[in-house]
Structure 1
C-alpha cells in the first residue's frame, strides 16, 4: 500500500489563508446582506403582517384597524393599510357630530321658548327638567334621595334654586305714601293695616308676607301670595322703592294690575310711580335646615371695607348662632362679600374650641339682644336696589378663564388668586341680601353670580332639592303651598287640569281588566276634584256629565298634542279640532271641558278660601266654631272653603284627590265599638260602609304623602264651610264635641273609608 501522496489535492486552493478576520468577511459580503435586507423589508408573500402572529395573539379587527397589532409590527401594518388604499376613512364620532358648532347660540335657541335659570346645566345633569310656568324647572331628582333630603331639611341643609320667582320693583318719585296707595288696592284691609303699623317692616329691616287680590273683589279674586320688602328710605338721596316677589304663574296678572293701578291712581302724575320687572335680574336661593347658617358662614367672606360697619357687626355677632329660629322672623341683612371662587372649594366649619367664659358670655348677650330686637338702621340697605350698581356687579364679573390665568400667575400654587376688578379696584365684591325665613335663610345675589354661589353651597354640604322636594317639605309640615293648595286661583286650575290629563293617560294605558271601573263607584271625575259637590252650588262652567269614560281614550291621544306648556297660557286644542270632538259626542266630559278652559277661566270663580286670620282662629276650636256657625249665616259663606291639615288615625295613606266625607251616626257607632273592643292603635278604623255616591262630600285633598316626621299619612286639603257647619251642628246635637274634628277619608281606587283627624290651618298661602 503506498503512502500519502506528496502532491496537493486538486479540490483545494493553491494557497490556504491561515488567518480570517470578520471585517474582511463582511466587507466581501456587503452586497449579499443588502440584497437580503431588501427582500425582508419588501416581503411580497401571501400573508399580511397580522397573520404572522400566533393565533392566540390575533384579533378580529386587525385586518382594518392596524392599531390593534402589537407595537413591534404596528408600523408595517400601517404601511400595508396605506399602500392598499382600501382603509376605512376616519369618521367623526357621534358625540362630535351631534355637538353644535356654536354651543352658546344653541343654548340661546333652546332657551328661547322656556327660559333657563343660571343653574340649568347643573340641574339638567342630575334632575328631571320639565317646562313649567315659562321656565325649565327641576321637577324630581334622578337619585333616590327622598329620605336623605327630608333628613337634610331638618338636621342638615337643603338648597333650592328659587330664581324663577319674579321680583317686581315699584318706585315712587316723591313720597312713600304713593307706594302705600298702590299696595292698598290689591292687599286686603286686615293686612295693609298690620304692614303700615309694623315699624320693622316700614324701616326695611324685615320683609312681610302678604296676599294679593283683585281690587274690590275680596274675598273673591285671589291672585297669589307674595313677599313685600321696602327699601330703607332716608328721604334725601333715595327714592322710595318696594320689592314684591310673586310666583311665576301669576306674575303677568300682578304686573299688569300694578301698572294699571299706578297709572290710574293719579292721572295727572302718571310718571310718579314706575313698575319694573326684575325677573332673572336677581337670583334667589332657599337654604333650609339646622346647618344652613353654618354652611352660609363657610361660603361667605364678608368684605369689611365695603360693607356697612353695622352689618359687619351683626354678621360677626351671629358667629355663634346655631339655628336661625331664634332670630326675629323675616329679618333682612345686607352684605358685600368677596368672590366665592377665590376660596373655592370652601371648607365646612367644624366645632371649634369654646372661647373664654367672659368672651362667650359677651357674645351670647349680643346674640340675645339681636334676637330680641333686630337693628333697623344701616343693616338692610343694599346696592342691589340701585340698577346701576346691580348691573355693574354683573358686568364686572370675571370669567373662569381670567381666574385661571391669575392662578397660574401666582408663585405658590394652591393659594387664592388676587382678584381685581376690571376698573382697578383692589378686590371684586358681590352685594347680597340675606332674608331670615323659618329655619334657614333666603340668599339673593345679582345675575351672573347664581352658579358661582350655587357650586360653593353644594360643595360645602348643601343638598340640592327639586320642586317636588320643596312641595314635599311643605306637606310634611302640613303647610299650604302655592299653587298646589290654592283651589280658588287660576294657576291651580291650570295645574289640576294638566295633572288630570296625565292621570287619565296613565289610566288608559292599563287594560280594562287591570284598572278600576269608576262608573261602578259612581265617580264622575276621578282625576279632577269636583268642588261644586262640596259647595252645593254649580260652578260657572260645569265639568262633568254622565259620559262613558271608555269613550275618552281617543280624546286623550288628541289632547296630548295640545298639552299646556308655554307659560300655562296655551290653548289645549284648536277650534276646528274642538268642533270635531263635539261632533263625536264627548262635549260633556271633563276632559273635553279642559279644551275650552281658556274661555271659561275668564269667568268668575264662584267660591273662595277663607284666609282671614281672626276667622280661622274662630274655626280652630269647637266652642268658637259653634258660635261662628250660629252667628254667621249668609249666602257668601255658603261658598267658602276652609283649608285643613289631615292626619290619618292609626293607619292608611291618602291618595291623590282623596275625598273627604262627613261621617254618619252609624260610622260613629262603629268607631265606638272598635274603640271599646281593643286599643285605638290596634283597632281597624276602616270598613266598607255606604256607597260613596250616598255620602255627603265635604271636600278633597290637594296634597298628601306618608309623613316621615309623624310616621302616618298626612295631607292638606279644603272642606266646605257649609259642610263643616252641618257636621258641627250634628256633633252638638248628639253631644259629641270631641269628634267635631273627625272626617272620613276615601281614596278613589278603594271602597274603604278611614277616619282621619283634621285641624284648621291658620297659616296663609306661602310661595
Structure 2
C-alpha cells in the first residue's frame, strides 16, 4: 500500500492529508443546503435601501415614497411594512376630484372662496377664460387669456364688445322731487353741466351723469362721476311735491364716500336699528279668540344653499335702509341686487335685436307675474304693446347711435335661453326699409321707460320663480320630441323685464371719431345674468374685461377715473406702490438711473408740487401745499379756453384758478413712443426752428436730447452696499463661532442660530431707495425745472391709438404753463399749438399737438 502524499498548506501551517475519494450523499446534502441559502437570500435580500429605491431608474417616481399604489403590486406589502417600521403615519385616502366637484361640495367651496371677495354671476365663466384680479372688494376679470387687445378694439369700433359691469353699485333714493333737488345742489354745481333735476332727465326718458363733490366743497374734493335715472311717472313732472324715485349708479371705489355724503346731506339715519316685532299680530275670530295660524314652512337646506350663491343672494337678504322722517326721504342700498352689462359697437343693436324678443302676452296661458301685473295695472298692457312695437321697429337700424341719445327703453322679453342659437352666430342688421328714421324718433311714446324693475317685490320674486338651468335641461330632455323644436312649457315660462340705456358715444367730430363708443347698457334682475350673458355671446358679442374700460376711454380721448376723484387717487397710490416695488426688485445694473436722466418722479404725477412751482404769488404757495388740486370742469371757462387755443380769442381766460389742472389730449407729430407719467414740457424758440429744419430735410431725429447728469449718490450707494455686506458676513461669522463653541461641550447636534436681520435689511433697503429715487419735493422748482425744458404737465395714460394711428396720451397741464406755451406759439407764428413730450425712460424730446376736452 502506497504511503499518503504529504502537502503543505501555508494558511494552516502544517501538512494536510487529503482523502482519495468523497461520499456523494454528503456532497449533495451540503450543496442542497447552500442552494437553499442562496434562494433565501435572493427572495429576502438584506439591503439598507427602501423597496422603491431598488427599482430600476426608469421605474422610479418621486411619489412612490408617499403612495404605495405607485409601486408594482409585488412590492407594495414590503413597502407598507417598511413605512410602518419607520413610524410614518398612515395617510388617509384623498377624496377624488369627482367627489370634490359634486354640486354640494362645489357650492360649499364657492361660498368659502367668496368670503374675501364678492363674485359676479358671470364669475365662473370669466375665471376659465380671463385673468382675474381683486378690485374694490370684488373678483373681476382683467383681460382675456388670449391675445385679444386688437380684437377688442375692432369689436368696440365695428362689431360688439360685451362687458360685465355689475360691480357698479345702485343707490335708490325716494322722496319729494323738490327735496331731492335741493339736496343735490349742495353736492353738484351748475357750472359742470345739466343738473340732476333738468327737465330732459326728470321725465325718466333719459339717463344722465353728474360730477359729485363733497358738501359745499366745489370745485375741490371731487367724489367721481355718477350716472342717474328717474323713475318715469304719468303725472306732471313740474309738480315738485310728488314723490319720486331716483337710481344712482356709483363706481365701487367711490361708493363709501358717496353714501357718506348722501347720509350727511339728507340727514338720514339707519332704519335697521328700529325694533320691529318678530311675530306678527295673530288674527282674531268672530268670538274674539286668537285664530290658529300655521307656521311658515322652513326653507329646505338645499334651497337655502342654492340661494346663497351668485348675485341673487343679496336680493333676499335685508338690504341697508336709511331714512329721514321729517323730509320723508328714504335711501335703499341696492348693492349687488341687479346686473348691468355694457355692449359697445355698431352691431350692439343687432345683437340685442336677436337676443331680446318681446314676450307675447296670452291670457289663456299659465298665469305668471306678468298676468298679475297687467291685472293690477290696467294701463300696463298698452305700455307693453308700445314698447314691443318700438323695439321691432328698431330692428331696421344699423347702429345704436341713430337713436335718441341716452334714451331709456324698458322691455318684457322672453327667456333668453329660448332664442339662443346652437352655434355661435354673428348677428347682422336686417335689410333697411324705406321707413324714415326721423319718423321713428318723432313717434316715440312717452311710456317707453316704464319698467317693472322699479318694483322691489316683483324684482325679488323673479329670482325665486325662475327655472334653473338644470331644471330647464331636464324639461327639454323630457318634452322635446324634435331636437331644436320649441316645447309647450317654454311658452309658459315667465317674462324677463330688462331696461336698455342707449349710449351715444363720441359727439364732437372735431375732437374724436364721431359715434365711437356708442352702444347699450342692459339692466336685468338678479339671477338672469348668466342666461343673458351666454345668449349675447352666442349671438356674436366679444367679451372684454376691466382693461377694455380703460382702452375705450383712451380711444375716446378721455380718462376713466380723473386724478382728483376718489378712484383716481386710490388708483394712483396703488400704481405708485406696485411700480416702485417692481423697480427695486430688479438688480442695480438693470434699473434705469432716473437721477442721471433728470426725472424726479417716474412712477406718479406730482400735480400738487407742479402747481406749487408754477404759482407766482408767494402768498398762495402755503395754501397750495395744504389744499388739493382739482380738474377744470367749468364748461364756460373751457369754451373760452378753446377759442383762445384756436386763435379766435386773443385773451387767455383770467378766471381760471391757479390750483386747477386742464385736461388735454396729445397726439405725436411724428415718431416716438410714450408711456404713463410722461413729461409735458414747454419748448424754446430754437426747438421750433430745429423742428422746421428737420421737416424740410425729412429728418425724424428727436428735437432735443437731455444731457446726462452726474449721480452724486452713486459712490454713497456703493459704499453702503459694501458696508452692509461686510456687516452681514461678520454677523454670520459670529454665529458660526458660537455654534462651534457649543459643539465642544454639547452631546447633541447643534444648529446655527437664525440670522434675525430682517429689520437690518429693511432699513438698508429704505436707505438705498432714497438714494435711488429721492422724491423730495420740498425744495422750490424741483418739479418744474427738473430738466432742461420746463415741465408744466404730466401724461397719466399713454398708448398707441387705433383711431389716430399713432401714439396718443391724456394729460393734465397747469394754466400758467399753458398760457406761457400759447404765448410762445403766437410769437413764433405756429398755426397749430404744440408742446414737447418726453418718455420717462428716454432722454429724447418730441413734438406733439393737443386738443382740449370740453366734456370733462
TM-score by length of 1: 0.73
Q: CA deviation at 1:182?
A: 2.3
Residue 421 of structure 2: aligned partner: 345
Q: CA deviation at 1:312?
A: 0.8
Matching of residue 433 in structure 1 with residue 507 in structure 2: no
2:471 to 397, 402, 412: 402
C-alpha spacing 1:209/1:419, structure 2 compared with 1 (3 Å): farther
1:462 to 523, 536, 541: 541
Cα deviations by residue, 1:46-81 (Å, 9 ceiling, x for unpaired): 99xxxxxxxxxxx979xx99x99xxxxxxxx99x99
Residue 377 of structure 1: aligned partner: 446
In structure 1, how many angstroms separate the alpha carbons of the residues matched to 2:108 and 2:527?
A: 17
Q: Helix, strand or coil for the counterpart of 1:240?
A: strand
Range 94-103 or range 188-197, more displaced = 94-103
Range 440-449 or range 624-633, more displaced = 624-633
Residue 351 of structure 2: aligned partner: 295
In structure 2, how many angstroms separate the alpha carbons of the residues matched to 1:104 and 1:756?
A: 55
Superposition pairs for residues 404-553 of structure 1, below 5 Å? Answer: 404-415=473-484, 418=487, 426-437=492-503, 438=505, 439-482=518-561, 486-537=562-613
C-alpha spacing 1:94/1:402, structure 2 compared with 1 (3 Å): closer
In structure 1, how many angstroms separate the alpha carbons of the residues matched to 2:76 and 2:629?
A: 82
Superposition pairs for residues 355-754 of structure 1, below 5 Å? Answer: 360-361=433-434, 364-365=435-436, 367-371=437-441, 373=442, 375-415=444-484, 418=487, 426-437=492-503, 438=505, 439-482=518-561, 486-537=562-613, 605-622=627-644, 630-632=652-654, 637-678=657-698, 683-689=700-706, 693-732=787-826, 734-739=827-832, 741-754=833-846
Q: Helix, strand or coil for the counterpart of 1:249?
A: coil
In structure 2, how many angstroms separate the alpha carbons of the residues matched to 1:716 and 1:381?
A: 39
In structure 1, how many angstroms separate the alpha carbons of the residues matched to 2:250 and 2:473?
A: 39
Q: Helix, strand or coil for the counterpart of 2:848?
A: strand
C-alpha spacing 1:404/1:392, structure 2 compared with 1 (3 Å): same
1:256 to 257, 260, 276: 260
In structure 1, how many angstroms separate the alpha carbons of the residues matched to 2:182 and 2:482?
A: 59
Cα deviations by residue, 1:450-506 (Å, 9 ceiling, x for unpaired): 111111111221111011122112212312212xxx111232222111111221222
Residue 109 of structure 1: aligned partner: 112
1:332 to 408, 427, 433: 408
Q: CA deviation at 1:626?
A: 8.6
Q: Helix, strand or coil for the counterpart of 2:180?
A: helix
Q: Helix, strand or coil for the counterpart of 1:641?
A: strand
Contact 2:706/2:788 (8 A) holds in 1: no
Q: Helix, strand or coil for the counterpart of 1:716?
A: strand
Contact 1:184/1:192 (8 A) holds in 2: no
Contact 1:342/1:416 (8 A) holds in 2: no
Range 445-454 or range 408-417, more displaced = 408-417
TM-score by length of 2: 0.66
C-alpha spacing 1:386/1:638, structure 2 compared with 1 (3 Å): same
Contact 1:610/1:642 (8 A) holds in 2: yes
Cα deviations by residue, 1:277-297 (Å, 9 ceiling, x for unpaired): 111111110101121111111
In structure 1, how many angstroms separate the alpha carbons of the residues matched to 2:427 and 2:122?
A: 28
Range 374-383 or range 461-470, more displaced = 374-383
Q: Helix, strand or coil for the counterpart of 2:670?
A: coil
Range 702-711 or range 93-102, more displaced = 93-102
Residue 185 of structure 2: aligned partner: 184
C-alpha spacing 1:532/1:604, structure 2 compared with 1 (3 Å): closer
C-alpha spacing 1:410/1:389, structure 2 compared with 1 (3 Å): same
Cα deviations by residue, 1:557-612 (Å, 9 ceiling, x for unpaired): xxxxxxxxxxxxxxxxxxxxxxxxxxxxxxxxxxxxxxxxxxxxxx9642111112
Matching of residue 165 in structure 1 with residue 257 in structure 2: no
Q: CA deviation at 1:327?
A: 0.9
Contact 1:141/1:466 (8 A) holds in 2: yes
In structure 1, how many angstroms separate the alpha carbons of the residues matched to 2:660 and 2:648?
A: 16
C-alpha spacing 1:321/1:501, structure 2 compared with 1 (3 Å): same
Contact 1:205/1:376 (8 A) holds in 2: no
Residue 204 of structure 1: aligned partner: 204
Cα deviations by residue, 1:504-542 (Å, 9 ceiling, x for unpaired): 222123222222111222323211111134313599xxx
Q: CA deviation at 1:693?
A: 2.1
Q: Helix, strand or coil for the counterpart of 1:342?
A: coil
Residue 4 of structure 1: aligned partner: none
Q: Helix, strand or coil for the counterpart of 2:521?
A: strand
Matching of residue 125 in structure 1 with residue 131 in structure 2: no
Residue 399 of structure 2: aligned partner: 323
C-alpha spacing 1:119/1:618, structure 2 compared with 1 (3 Å): same
In structure 1, how many angstroms separate the alpha carbons of the residues matched to 2:443 and 2:185?
A: 26
In structure 2, how many angstroms separate the alpha carbons of the residues matched to 1:188 and 1:353?
A: 44
Contact 2:395/2:429 (8 A) holds in 1: no
Q: CA deviation at 1:310?
A: 1.2
Contact 2:347/2:428 (8 A) holds in 1: no
C-alpha spacing 1:86/1:499, structure 2 compared with 1 (3 Å): closer
C-alpha spacing 1:353/1:206, structure 2 compared with 1 (3 Å): closer
Q: Helix, strand or coil for the counterpart of 1:619?
A: helix
Q: Helix, strand or coil for the counterpart of 2:225?
A: strand
Q: CA deviation at 1:276?
A: 1.1
Contact 2:631/2:662 (8 A) holds in 1: yes
In structure 1, how many angstroms separate the alpha carbons of the residues matched to 2:681 and 2:96?
A: 58
In structure 2, how many angstroms separate the alpha carbons of the residues matched to 1:255 and 1:416?
A: 50
Cα deviations by residue, 1:361-397 (Å, 9 ceiling, x for unpaired): 2xx22x32233x4735211011111111110112212
Superposition pairs for residues 33-48 of structure 1, below 5 Å? Answer: none
Residue 277 of structure 1: aligned partner: 333
Contact 1:213/1:220 (8 A) holds in 2: yes
In structure 1, how many angstroms separate the alpha carbons of the residues matched to 2:687 and 2:231?
A: 57
In structure 2, how many angstroms separate the alpha carbons of the residues matched to 1:245 and 1:251?
A: 9
Range 617-626 or range 291-300, more displaced = 617-626
In structure 1, how many angstroms separate the alpha carbons of the residues matched to 2:823 and 2:480?
A: 82
In structure 2, how many angstroms separate the alpha carbons of the residues matched to 1:91 and 1:607?
A: 62
Q: Helix, strand or coil for the counterpart of 2:390?
A: helix
